Amino acid sequence: MIIVYHKNNQVESVFDCNIQKTLEHQEKNVVNVLMQLASSFQDRILVWCRSDQKEFLDKQAVKQALYLKNAMVCFNSTSYLPSQIGYVEDSPFIKVNRKVTYPTWQMSGLTGAIYGFQLLKFKEVIDRGSLDYTLNSIAKLGMPNGLFCYASPQLLSEFNFKLEQASTMVLFKFVKQHYKTRWVFLLALNYLWHEKKMVLWPLLSSFFYKKKKFNKSITLESENTQEDIPLPTIDVIIPTIGREQYVYDVLKDLAVQTHLPNQVIVVEQNPDIQSTTNLRFIKTDSWPFKIVHHFIHQTGACNARNLALNDVNSDYVYLADDDNKFDEDLIERALEQMMHFNLEVISMSYLQEGEVERKEQPIQWPTFGAGCSIMKSKYLEMVSFNKAL
């Protein structure tokens, strides 16, 4: 681990934790120094930290946070970009919960870390000015290409610094460089409509900047070298309504899985209160797992899934749809990947016939696939599906 202590975008010292020595540096600009270190120490963790937060930096927490080599972590109590970025993007990455480790591209120069070889991939696309702007740019460009970005409060044992936010001019520059051009016009319109402000000069000045492009693929890499990790138990949830043949096919696919589920929870819905079940094969056929069958007259997939969540008792739960088709080793491969990379929630890509996969590498995704996801069951105590949907 190499730590760059800085103030006002200028480097004050560089410390190598491996040899416990201060490294010499000729360059003063913090972005340039980080890039030089990335080139010389590609396999090392590079840390940036404001000098006035030096005593609060938790080095062990930094190492633990970077259990994935394709990760970038940081922390600050506030965001660098002003809240008006919400006029442009409404993803979950905007409103950050700073009490927990939270996925977001909104990075900070207060403190953070990344592997040198990952930082080096952005050498041609970053600005060499503000560290905060550069880090936000790297995360915004990298996240859709496989860079996992997190705000991690564990990096500092405590903090007593509040970051100065970017100006409106900088916000327009960032939007122009990282979004489609139409968004700078919409941003200006939102300022006028919601805040009664004319932002003509920030709008016009943004056209001096070109949109940044970053097309390098960042692969999922782990520090974990352990092999033959025991696979956890898993339950499967399937809501359905009037599609008995689909349910039968899914159960048949599950029955030949190389890692069998402990139980499959089927919630059958039929609004006709006089009706009876169409899934008689649940009782008449033999299955290599327990099937919990609910037959209800209230419709709604979210209500059905919430009902099923109460029956989950395995380590993980696979939220499936009644028309999923998959290979016999799907559950085994998915759990192996989750164990190896220490992932607790994943959504899988389910392609239609003839559809082409556009993203080969795993990425942080702003949505959740309720019919194609696997998650750790402990989180069911804190979440449920919105019945209004």
* Pairing outcome for strands 102-103 and 21-23: unpaired
**pLDDT tens per residue across all 389 residues of the chain:** 999 999 999 999 999 999 999 999 889 999 999 999 999 999 999 999 999 999 999 999 999 999 999 999 999 989 999 999 999 999 999 999 999 999 999 999 999 999 999 999 999 998 888 999 999 999 999 999 999 999 999 999 987 666 789 999 999 999 999 999 999 999 999 999 999 999 999 999 999 999 999 999 899 998 877 777 889 999 999 999 999 999 999 999 999 999 999 999 999 999 999 999 999 999 999 999 999 999 999 999 899 999 999 999 999 999 999 999 989 999 999 999 999 999 999 999 888 878 888 777 899 989 888 889 999 999 998 888 887 66
pLDDT of residue 384: 86
pLDDT of residue 385: 86
Q: What is the DSSP letter of 299?
A: -
pLDDT of residue 16: 96
DSSP 61-104: HHHHHT-BTTEEEEE-SS-SS-GGGGGT--STTTS--TTS-EE-
C-alpha closest to that of 243 among 182, 304, 311:
304
CB burial readout 346-361, b (16+ within 10 A) else e: bbeeeeeeeeeeeeee
Asked if 182 contacts 211 with a C-beta cutoff of 8 angstroms, the reply is no
Q: First vs last Cα of the chain: how many Å apart?
A: 47
pLDDT of residue 198: 95
In whole angstroms, what is the distance from residue 65 CA to residue 156 CA?
Answer: 12
pLDDT of residue 389: 62
SS3 label, residue 282: helix
Question: CA–CA distance from 99 to each of 96, 102, 150, 158, 163 (Å)?
Answer: 9, 8, 12, 12, 17
How many residues are there in the chain? 389
Question: What tokens does 123 get?
Answer: 């050498």
Domain 234-381: CATH superfamily is Spore Coat Polysaccharide Biosynthesis Protein SpsA; Chain A (3.90.550.10)
Question: What tokens does 145 get?
Answer: 């290409």
- Sorted by where each begins, the domain ranges of the chain are 1-223, 234-381
pLDDT of 138-185, one tens digit each?
999 999 999 999 999 999 998 766 678 999 999 999 999 999 999 999
pLDDT of residue 368: 86
Amino acid (one-letter) located at 321: D
Other residues' Cβ atoms within 10 Å of the Cβ of residue 275: 12
In whole angstroms, what is the distance from residue 389 CA to residue 385 CA?
Answer: 8
Asked if 143 contacts 363 with a C-beta cutoff of 8 angstroms, the reply is yes
